[in-house]
Structure 1
Amino acid sequence: QNLGLAKLIDGIDKLDDHTVRFRLKQPNVTFVANFAFAWAGIHSAEYAAQLLKNGRASQINVQPVGAGPYQFKSYAKDDVLRMTAHPDYWGGRQATPTLVFSISREPNVRVQKIAAGECHVTAPLRDVDVGTLAGN
């Protein structure tokens, strides 16, 4: 909605069980890149319709349904999101059995976690923190 995608999309066609085609009202070079955002996944139309009908549309943010390689395990607000490899994922078994997203709003805490090996990926670092981690 905030990216204006609904106004840009003319239609969506199912090509096969794993492929869809988006028809756009006009050319847009950033359209595909928008789907790289974590929140931009394609959700079940049936699930979304059920949530809308019951007046619980925001539930999709905390009780997601998807078909990706990982499945929701648990979430603690402002703390951690845990996911496990989906055993029935159509694309095969995942090399990493679990994913843990540690939510750290403070840049200093993120730097400490990277330096200690507690996490492998972080939000963009501040310039001042790059030097701190350079020898690590």
Structure 2
Amino acid sequence: MSAPAPVAEVQTTSTERRVAPRRQPAMGTVLRLDAPDGGPSSVALVWNISTTGISMLLHAPRPTGSELAGYLEPMLDEAMLRVRMKVVHVKLLDTGDYFVGAHFDRLLTTEELKPFVADA
């Protein structure tokens, strides 16, 4: 069994870098990530989302700087949105899961996000 990929250090600066407000995802919103080898996809629970990026919980780390792609899916709806992103921070949680933040490769529209965010 091979060791997991090293996880980059988490930024410790308190400077606010968000350029878009974060939104709470709709209940059960997940990100189904493409498998790099064409195997089964992994599923991340979406923690929060904005037009510029996403925070999610994953069972395995993704190195800072890595590029990911997949589909946003609300479990209670048929909507799907293809997204690509770059990992910007990773943090190991006490539960053994990883908190991963990523920037989308393009600005998403408010209309695109509607199926994936909780009602305001």
TM over 0.5: no
Higher relative contact order (CA 8 A, sep 6+): 2
More strand by percentage: 2
For normalisation by structure 1, the TM-score amounts to: 0.22
Instruction: State TM-score, norm by structure 2.
Output: 0.24
Tell which structure's C-alpha radius of gyration is larger.
1
